Structure formats: C-alpha cells, structure tokens
Structure 1
C-alpha cells in the first residue's frame, strides 16, 4: 500500500504543505498566504491563529491534490526566532513578534553589555541581534509588563502548530538555537543565560530530537485537517535547517546557497564552531550530532526586484526578469568597474549594521541598464561570498554548493555563483524547500526510512551542475576586492545618515 508523508512550513508570507510518497516524489502541494502586520515602522507581527487557519487550508488542499485522506506522519518547519507567548489555557497573549522586527535594539544592547560578547560566545554561540527571540521577551518585560507577567509558555511558530495538533509543547535543537537561550554545544537550554536575563525556565518547552515523534493528532485537529486521529507529528526543524535537509545538505563538505527575498549560505559542520567576532551564525542542524554555520544577506532577490520595479514609470510595467538578465549577460564579468552594495535594508553578515544602505559605486556615462542589472546580481553573490570567506577562516569549506530559492531558477545567476564562490554549483530535485525537508524528517521519525542521510540519498537527485571557470573567477576575485573595500569606507557615512 502506498505511503505518504506530510511536510508543513510556517513561513512569513505563506503556510506551505507538501505531500511526498514513499519514493520521495511530491504528489500534492498547496499554500495559504499570510499577512504581516506593521503597527509601527520597524515592527512586524502576525496572529498565531492565522498560521493555524492557513495550515488547515494548505493541508486539505495538498491532500486533495494527492487524493489521500491519510499520511504516515507529519513534519513541521517554520520561520526562526518569532515569539509566541501563551498565558493560562494556552491562549496567545499578543500577536507574535517576528524575526524581521527591529524594535529590540535597546534590549540587544542591554544583553551585550550585561553578558559581554565573550559570555555570549560561550553560552549561546551567537550575538544579541534584534531578530532573536530573547530580546523580544525583554522588550515585553520593559514595555508590556502587564502581559509579560501573564506569560506561562514561550513557543516558536512551528511548535505552536504542534501544540494545536497534538496538545503537546515541544521544540527541537535547530529552532531552539535561534532563541539566544539555547546552549548550542550541549544541546539544552542555557541555565546561565536564563539566570542572567532573569527569565523563568519553566516557560520553555522540552527540546527533543528533530526526528522524534512528539505526539499524535488529537481528534479535533484531525477533523480540522481531514486526517486520521493519532497521526504521528515529528519534531521537524527550523526553516533553514529543514531547507538544507530538503536539498540534501546534511553533512560537512556540502553547502547550500539561497537567493530568495533574502539570501543565505548554510554549511553543515561536525562540531560547533563560533566565529570569534560572531559575524556568522552557528546553529544546531536538524540532523543528529551536526551543526551548521549560516550567513545571511538581508536583500538578495529583493534587491533585484527593487531595481526592476524602480525602472517602471507611473502606471507602467517593469521589465521582465528575462529581459533584465539578457541585458546583464551582454555585460562582461566585473561590470566594467561598477559595484553595488545590496544593503537596502541594512545587512546581517558580516556587518550586523542596520544603518547600512544600498550603493552603486564607480558609475560613469559608459554604463547602461545592463550594467546596473549585472552589478545588482553580482553584488548579491559577493554578499554570499562574504559569508563563505568567514566560513573558510573557520576551516569550513565546501566541495560544491546546492543552489536553492528563486534565484536558482536562473542559470545565469547560478553560473555567476560558481565563478564568484569558486565551487561547482548544482541544483537538485525535488525542489521542495523547507516543507520537503520536514517531510523527510517525518519519514525518518515514523520509521519509513532509517536516517536523514539515507532519505536524502534515496529521494534527492542532482539535476544540473556548473563548474567554475578559472579565467572568469580571476576577474571576479578583483571585483570582489573592490566590493569588500567599500563598506569600511562608507560605514561612518551610513551611521551619520541614520542620525539625520
């Protein structure tokens, strides 16, 4: 009898559900859009109940497409860092504060000053940044004490779904690592960090392995989803960890490069390594006894989308991506000296500077639209290389990069990645992203496959491979040096501009 596994991902813009059969083929998929509330500039919130409604819609639609009413197990993944605070009777006390909310600058400064960078490296392996979960709790304590005093539980988005599905509170290491409350080396909540921040450990859920069954669907949840009561729900993973599993990036020597709205470089490692300056993240993977380094580019595909939309006049249609790419391809590598910093909304890796802004440098009358487009695309890949260079300093390198995200659909951009990063760039199938990775984890957790590594070997296949060209790579090395020198020269200007 055919077996099916369900993966669910709670993203920022949509809940996605994906049904995979025992051969690893996607037989049903659907998504339900989500809205982000912006009560004030720099704030970003969502109502947790919207995640559940989106899940019900997406799961029913995906299962209808697959023509099934039963799955072997369910895996969960979701946006990292976002905080769900529950009171008595497990009701949400306020909307969830999301990962891209920047209201907690003062709390991050308080954490850094109180614990020190050395303490943060030792206790949690990551810096205090606005996106992480712990600063959000401190903000609540400072600004909404009437609600903070009522907090009984803290959950992450996918784990809130777990609660509604199973009645159980639990998380797993890859998501816990993004809270700034988790000891990534020991794989448990950091008592010392909690003590320093005066937070009650009782509000935190148990941390279980990503492939462990954490509970079964309750009768009410099963009825809502159209599935069988008791269906096992597996631990799952944070979105980046699950996406890495979904592209087969599960062991040292592999690397994933992502160009979506934002960008990321993910490289699994066999033991935790922390950059002395914490310019790059170190998190637990969704694979047992594995960690990963991650660098983040805040504006990746978003930078090209911004540029495309900026070219349209009032009421006019912007050029298509294919038109822009064709024009960019006619320009030589290095863009005749034109350089673009893709810091439209600040930058995470390696600068952690919310004041940084986008810049075209070296422009002259010989440049045309194709030059500008190519400079934007090169700037995004140079930003990915910033992360890879930090990883190499930590003696972590890759034999190849698996390209994912919307940018991976462009062979031109993939070729650029190969030449700039200096490693072969491959694509794999199925291209299911985080929900596919969570389906893999669910298959392992329910016994359908022996291990994550076995599942990836059996289900995920290479589709395309681009080798770096040595001559072009040498040109990009020079262009990257121009790019790399720009930010230090402009940092003071960015800071002064932010104060105007």
Structure 2
C-alpha cells in the first residue's frame, strides 16, 4: 500500500513516523498482515505472467505503488511544491494543499502526500458538478454551454438569490450530513439563468470557506491550480477567483488521475522532462469590480446556514421518516 492511502486509514497509520501504528493495527486489523509501505512513485515490481494474461499488458513492465485518484491528479497537474494547492472541479469540489511544514486542523484532513516525506491538508464539498447536472436534468437537459452563457448574463449576486449547495449534506467546513439545499430570495422574476449562476456562486462560497480555513488555521496557499471537467466553464472558474480573491492557474491538461499515474511511472522509469506535462494554459484573475458584492454574499451565505440549521435537521428527520414509511422512490437520488 502507498503511504498516502495508508495515511487515510486512521488511526492505523502515524504521519510523523510514516509507518503503521502497531497497537492500533493489531487491535483493529490484527488478523491481517500489515501491507508493505511504499511511496506512490516507487517502483514495486513488474507485470507478472498471470497479470499479463489478465490485462493484456506485456510481461516485465514496471509497476509503481500509485496513490488514490485525487492525489494522482495532484501530481499530473504539477501541484508538487510546498504551498501548491489543487482545486478539483468535479462532481464534488476537492481541495488538496501541499504543506510547507507539518500542520493539522480539526476541520481539514491530514494526509501524506505523493513525494516521499510530503504532507497535505485536504477538504471537500459534497456537491459541485453533481448539482449543476441535477439542475440540467430537472430542466430537460438543455445545452450546457447555452445555460452557462445565460448565467453569465446575470449580474453578480444573481439578482438577490443565494443557494446553499447542501443537496447531499455537506462535508467541509460544516460536516453536517443533515444539512439541506436551500434557496433564498426567489421571486417570480427569477429563472434558470439566475438559479444556475447562484449555484455556481454558492459552491464558490464553499471553496472560499475552505481556503480561509487553510489560511487561518494552517498556512496560506500559494499557487492555486484548477483541474477537473468543470474547468471548461470559464464562468465557474472566474466566479471562484472572484469569490476567493485568488488567481487560479488552469493547465492545458485538466482531467486525469490516469494522466498523473502515467507521469509518475514515466518519472520512476525514465528521466523525463515534466514541463510539457504540466504546461499552464491560462491564468484567471479576480475581478475587483465584483469584490464588494461578493464580500456581502459570502457573509450572508455563512449566516444563512447558521440561521437555518435546526430547520434543515427537522427536514432531514421527516425525510428519513418518509423513507421508513416506504416512500423511498421519491426520495432516492436519481441516477445521472
């Protein structure tokens, strides 16, 4: 097992010693032999004849330990130096920060990194692209580009709408499985463009909260590198920069845990130049003209959850009661 994956196996792994914790391991998984540990880019063997027969890969190809998908994407995006931070625009929004010095935070996940001895703090939301997909499905799957263009024509603040994107509960920073999606400010004058933009803005507010946790409780992120399928939406990436006040770098290659895995193997087996792999395509700067409206929106976003938390929890309880009464079809999450 690679050190990064092991470090997510609390409390079996100790970050300081970079090894298994014997007492905990024997208590929880004593019937299993502790896996040998290796760093993700370490070669650990070669393709065996049996594996070759199963996969079609030639016998003898080097095999590296590899990390979990998000950390492979970190590597492929060139987020490798202390202070670098990856913003992953996926079905959920995920943030990985490479620490300059070991640190921890109660609302952030502490892990080993990809490079030997490296440490990370990570965070994630519960929805992101999954929520915009939900809206599109609700509206009959209109063209995504057309929908994003119409949202871009809406002024900052979405004409008074605020969306709490807690449609699947929420992870960082509130860690509340019973949080619920909330839309406030609706009038008969609002439509799909306002709702879509307000959803973008709500998710961006959540990203701002995560970056503030890092800055206030650990260390200020340096480079922000944006990856993931949703970076194709220029509006969304711009709104994250506007809400956070931070510049983002968008690489030429923005999708790919497999891309990062390939780079790890290339580096492990050959002395490759990584520059072409991680070339930056564009820089996204925050727009000063939107700063004031987004400062106010961010404050209201945070207060809205605090004011409605107990109502959300009562709603969640009623939903669970409906499920127990056999109404699961109406309450289950539809498949994409």
What's the CA shift for 1:432?
4.2
Alignment pair present for 1:287 and 2:115: yes
Task: Find the aligned partners of 1:252 and 1:394 in 2 and give their Cα distance.
Answer: 16
Matches within 5 A, 1:70-469: 171-180=1-10, 181-194=12-25, 197-200=27-30, 202-275=32-105, 278-312=106-140, 318-449=141-272, 455-469=273-287
Matches within 5 A, 1:9-24: none
On the 8 A contact 1:399/1:423 being kept in 2, the answer is no
What's the CA shift for 1:496?
2.0
Task: Find the aligned partners of 1:487 and 1:432 in 2 and give their Cα distance.
Answer: 32
What's the CA shift for 1:404?
1.1
Count matched residues.
317
Among 470, 473, 481, the alignment partner of 2:288 is 470
Pair 229,409 (structure 1): closer, same or farther in 2 beyond 3 Å: same
What's the CA shift for 1:497?
2.2
Aligned partner of residue 65 in structure 2, secondary structure: strand
Q: Which runs of 5+ in 2 are unaligned?
A: 319-336
Pair 203,343 (structure 1): closer, same or farther in 2 beyond 3 Å: farther
1:114-149: per-residue Cα shift (whole Å, max 9, x none)? xxxxxxxxxxxxxxxxxxxxxxxxxxxxxxxxxxxx
Aligned partner of residue 440 in structure 1, secondary structure: helix
On the 8 A contact 1:272/1:291 being kept in 2, the answer is yes
The Cα RMSD (Å) is 1.8
Aligned partner of residue 464 in structure 1, secondary structure: strand
**Structure with a larger share of its residues in strand:** 1
Alignment pair present for 1:493 and 2:323: no
Task: Find the aligned partners of 1:365 and 1:228 in 2 and give their Cα distance.
Answer: 63
Q: Which runs of 5+ in 1 are unaligned?
A: 1-170, 313-317, 450-454
On the 8 A contact 1:398/1:423 being kept in 2, the answer is no
Aligned partner of residue 221 in structure 1, secondary structure: helix
1:366-422: per-residue Cα shift (whole Å, max 9, x none)? 322211111111111111112111111124223332111121011111111111121
Task: Find the aligned partners of 2:174 and 2:248 in 1 and give their Cα distance.
Answer: 26
1:162-206: per-residue Cα shift (whole Å, max 9, x none)? xxxxxxxxx1111112221221222111234335x5431743311
TM-score after normalising by structure 2: 0.89
TM-score after normalising by structure 1: 0.61
Task: Find the aligned partners of 1:264 and 1:480 in 2 and give their Cα distance.
Answer: 19
On the 8 A contact 1:400/1:423 being kept in 2, the answer is no
1:23-59: per-residue Cα shift (whole Å, max 9, x none)? xxxxxxxxxxxxxxxxxxxxxxxxxxxxxxxxxxxxx
Aligned partner of residue 438 in structure 1, secondary structure: helix
Aligned partner of residue 385 in structure 1, secondary structure: helix
Task: Find the aligned partners of 1:204 and 1:491 in 2 and give their Cα distance.
Answer: 42
Task: Find the aligned partners of 2:131 and 2:288 in 1 and give their Cα distance.
Answer: 27
Aligned partner of residue 237 in structure 1, secondary structure: coil
Task: Find the aligned partners of 1:185 and 1:177 in 2 and give their Cα distance.
Answer: 10
Task: Find the aligned partners of 1:269 and 1:176 in 2 and give their Cα distance.
Answer: 18
